[in-house]
Amino acid sequence: MNVYLTQSRFTYSTHVELLDDILFPQKVHWFPETYHKATTGMFYPPHKVAEKVLDPDLMADLRENSAGKTAFILAAGNTNFSGISPHNKKPSRLSYAYKFLPLTLTQVYAARVAQACGASDQIITDSSACASSLKVLMDVSNLIQNYGFDRVIVLAVEDQVSNSVLEFFGETRAALLHEEESKTGAVPSAFDSKNYGFYVGQGAAFAVFDSEQTVERSGIDPIARLMGAYSASEVINNAIGQREDGQGFAQAIKGAAYYADINVEDIRTVKTHGTGTQSNNASESAGLRSVLKDFIATAYKPRIGHTMGVSGLLETLLLFEDMKAGFVPGIPNRSEEDAVFLSSHAPVPDGLVLSVAAGMGNIYSAAIFDRPCR
Amino acid sequence: MDFLQLLNAVARVAKPDYQEFIPLQDMAAPIAQSNLDSLDLLITSIYLCELYGIDQETSKGMSPATPQELLNFLNEHKTKEPQSVEAALKEVR
């Protein structure tokens, strides 16, 4: 049973701004308007980000033209949207106290959106940290191939630019903090010897996956075919660390290839997780090189920021858009020539596309797609 | 300002766009007739408490069955009130 990506909407911000009134000053990619009136407690930034991809016309179409048995998955990265965390005491421009507590629970919010899309046969949420939106593609495949679902709708949104997330990534020194940036002159990049790290970024993605029969029945022109997806972990004692040998990445890729029933040699284009941290650079490049032979790889976080649980799916959709335009993009801010972890745009090679993501809590996800259909 | 007009306007914002909302025509009519579910009603109540300047602690005591009961509660505890339906909608949209 083939599974197709048939419709999508996504958003990200290229507006980069230094937030210097927070505990760990850092630059972010964000939509400042999502915080407009947030202090009243009547508006919630993650919902405002989600609204950017919740196209009312598309939702009405999905609701009114049912494909049959339909599921909805909210890939939220967390079980709660995180901005209301009481941990933060220091007032900042990100401070607010949202008054509608039920809607801060991701499952409640998921139900609200799912019903508006006519997806009422199963409504679930995922909290697999930064792997969330790619991890759910394993669920998408499973629901369609093994449980008779005709359609699975995925909304990926998280409360990325919030006090608690920025504080967490500041404490763990995972994000590129302003102090370090000023001291070293480094800018966000990945797999580079000079530039490294990421800014946190707001973004969201909405995607519709249909069964082969649904595609045939509706005559929808698919964007791409989802061939297989898998999530894995690795043997490590550090719940926020990554093995340098890339075991987790390798396991996820091998699993996705097994369920896609393909030879890994056929994978020629890779959308990496690409946070650009020292740890991820080592782990991901080792994992990829241990499984793949002849490939080119790109990374989107230096361009759009790290959108956390949204990043896997959002960056995959961005890659499809770029491939449709005829290229696989170079990784921004590379300081050396590199034909594998691309330092400049490359033509789209033949072969399959691999997307990978990793999350704190020892999770690695991989999804394999046939080349974009459009 | 007509309270029913305000209530209907705020409830319409609280209710998802695609779902039917039946405007209330009578201050004594059961709110349930409007097709507001429990989450919609909770959201509507929070909006109204904000518009009437009622703190969260006080608003916990609100469980109206009719628009009149809702108005009575708001009048009893209000610290301000909206000047018009249009002004109210600007605050909640």
Three-class secondary structure assignment of chain B? CCHHHHHHHHHHHHCCCCCCCCCCCCCCCCHHHHCCCHHHHHHHHHHHHHHCCCCHHHHCCCCCCCHHHHHHHHHHHCCCCCCCHHHHHHHHC
List beta partners, residue A353: A269, A369
Q: Specify whether the CB–CB gap between A326 and A348 falls below 8 A.
A: yes
R_g of chain A computed on alpha carbons: 19
Query: Is A193 contained in some domain?
Result: yes
Mean residue pLDDT of chain A comes to 95
Please check whether residues A134 and A25 belong to one and the same domain: yes
Instruction: Work out the minimum CA distance from B49 to partner chain A, whole angstroms.
Output: 11
Of A199, A218, A237, the residue at which a domain comes to its end is A218
Give the other-Cβ count within 10 Å of A8's Cβ: 21
Interval B21-73: pLDDT, tens = 999 999 999 999 999 999 999 999 999 999 999 998 899 888 899 999 999 99
Secondary structure string (H, E, C) spanning chain A: CCEEEEEEEEEECCCEEEECCCCCCEEEECCHHHHCCHHHCCCCHHHHHHHCCCCHHHHHHHHHCCCCCEEEEEECCCCECHHHCCCCCCCCCCCCCCCCHHHHEHHHHHHHHHHHCCCCCEEEEECCHHHHHHHHHHHHHHHHHHCCCCEEEEEEECCCCCHHHHHHHHHCCCCCEHHHHHHHCCCCCCCCCCCCCCCEECEEEEEEEEEHHHHHHHCCCCCEEEEEEEEECCCCCCCCCCCCCCHHHHHHHHHHHHHHCCCHHHEEEEECCCCCCHHHHHHHHHHHHHHCCCCEEECCHHHHCECHHHHHHHHHHHHHHHHHCCEECCCCCCCCCCCCECCCCEECCCCEEEEEEEECCCEEEEEEECCCCC
Confidence (pLDDT) at A373: 62
Q: Among candidates A308, A317, A312, which has minimal Cα distance to A356?
A: A312
pLDDT in tens, A318-352: 999 999 999 999 999 999 999 999 999 999 999 99
Q: Domain check: are A10 and A124 in the same one?
A: yes
Q: Pick from A181, A217, A215: which is nearest to A199 by CA?
A: A181
Predicted model pTM: 0.95
Report d(CA A311, CA A158) in Å as an integer.
Answer: 10
Residues A241 and A114 in one domain: no
Domain that holds residue A90: 3-218
Is the distance from CB of A205 to CB of A58 less than 8 angstroms?
Answer: no
pLDDT over 90, % of chain A: 86
Which residues of chain B have a CB within 8 Å of the CB of A60? 18
Angle CA B69–B74–B75, to nearest 5: 95
- Whether residue A238 is contained in a domain is answered as yes
Instruction: Give me the pLDDT at residue A172, please.
Output: 87
pLDDT tens sequence across A20-77: 999 899 999 999 999 998 888 889 999 999 999 999 999 999 999 999 999 999 999 9
Average confidence (pLDDT) over A208-233:
96
Q: Please count the structural domains in chain A.
A: 2
Q: Is the domain of A204 the same as that of A239?
A: no
Terminal CA-CA length for chain B: 19
Give residue A83's pLDDT. Answer: 66
Bridge pairing between strands A267-271 and A224-232: unpaired
Q: Does A223 reside within a domain?
A: no
How far apart (Å, rounded) are the C-alpha atoms in residues A29 and A105?
24
Is the predicted ipTM greater than 0.95, yes or no? no
> B38 at the A interface (CB within 8 A)?
no
> Residue A246 region, left (φ>0) first, then alpha (ψ -120 to 50), else beta?
left
Q: The domain that contains A80 carries what CATH number?
A: 3.40.47.10
| Residue A268 pLDDT exceeds 60 | yes
Residue with more model confidence, B57 or A6: A6
A38 and A96: one domain?
yes
**Which of these three, A188, A218, A248, is where a domain ends?**
A218
Q: Which residue has the tokens 């609200």?
A: A112
Nearest to A112 among B16, B46, B47 (CB): B16
Residues of A with CB under 8 A from a CB of B: 40-42, 56, 59-60, 63, 99-100, 102-103, 108, 112, 115-116
CA dihedral (A220, A224, A230, A235) positive or negative: negative
**Structural domain count of chain B:** 1
Range of the domain at B20: 3-92
Sheet hosting strand A200-201, strand order edge to edge = A16-19, A26-29, A200-201
Looking at the fold, whether A214 and A254 belong to one and the same domain comes out as: no
Domain boundary among A218, A248, A279: A218
Cβ <8 Å between A102 and B91:
no
Long-range Cβ contacts of A98-104 (<8 Å, 24+ apart): A98/A38, A98/A41, A98/A43, A98/A44, A99/A41, A99/A42, A99/B46, A99/B50, A99/B56, A100/A44, A100/B42, A100/B43, A100/B46, A102/B39, A102/B42, A103/A44, A103/A47, A103/B43, A104/A44, A104/A80
Encode pLDDT of A284-304 as tens digits.
999 999 999 999 999 999 999
Q: Is the pLDDT of residue A374 over 60?
A: no
Task: Establish if A374 belongs to a structural domain.
Answer: no
CA B76 – CA A61 distance, rounded (Å): 45
A112:B39 CB<8 A: yes
Q: Alpha-carbon distance A288 to A268, whole Å?
A: 11
Please list every residue in chain B whose beta carbon sits closer than 8 Å to the beta carbon of residue A116. Answer: 16-18
pLDDT (tens digit, 9 = 90+) per residue, A65-89?
Answer: 999 999 999 999 987 776 665 555 6
Q: Which residue among B16, B17, B46 sits closest to A100, beta carbon to beta carbon? A: B46
Looking at the fold, whether A365 and A252 belong to one and the same domain comes out as yes
What pLDDT, on the 0 to 100 scale, is given for residue A116?
96
Q: Is B71 on the interface with A (CB under 8 A)?
A: no
Residue B11's domain is classified under what CATH number?
1.10.1200
